[in-house]
Amino acid sequence: MNCNADGGLKTLAVVVSGMSCSHCQRAVEEAVSAVDGITHASAALETGMLTVVYDPRKVDFAKVQDAVVRSGYEARQG
């Protein structure tokens, strides 16, 4: 996990398996962005990395992972 403090927010790097197109990328970003406490989610199709900016008082890796899995992909800490 890669965390950086920024006004109370942190950044998390997540490896997402199974994304193969822009639709996949968008589905992951939308699912993760819908989690309360996440302010930004950006997936890079080329690298399979998801970067999440979040409030650690509301969100942890398990919630991010759950959102990715519910969108049809696998996630592990990067």
Model confidence band, residue 1 (pLDDT cutoffs 50, 70, 90): very low
Nearest CA-CA partner of 14 in 72, 70, 62: 62
Strand order of the β-sheet with 10-17 is 38-44, 49-54, 10-17, 74-77
Go through the domains of the chain in sequence order and give each one's CATH number: 10-77 (3.30.70.100)
Q: What is the pTM of this model?
A: 0.87
- The residue with greater pLDDT, 49 or 5, is 49
Tens-place pLDDT, residues 30-54:
999 999 999 999 999 999 999 999 9
**Mean pLDDT, all residues of the chain:** 92
What is the per-residue pLDDT for 7? 66
Question: Can you give the pLDDT at residue 78?
Answer: 82
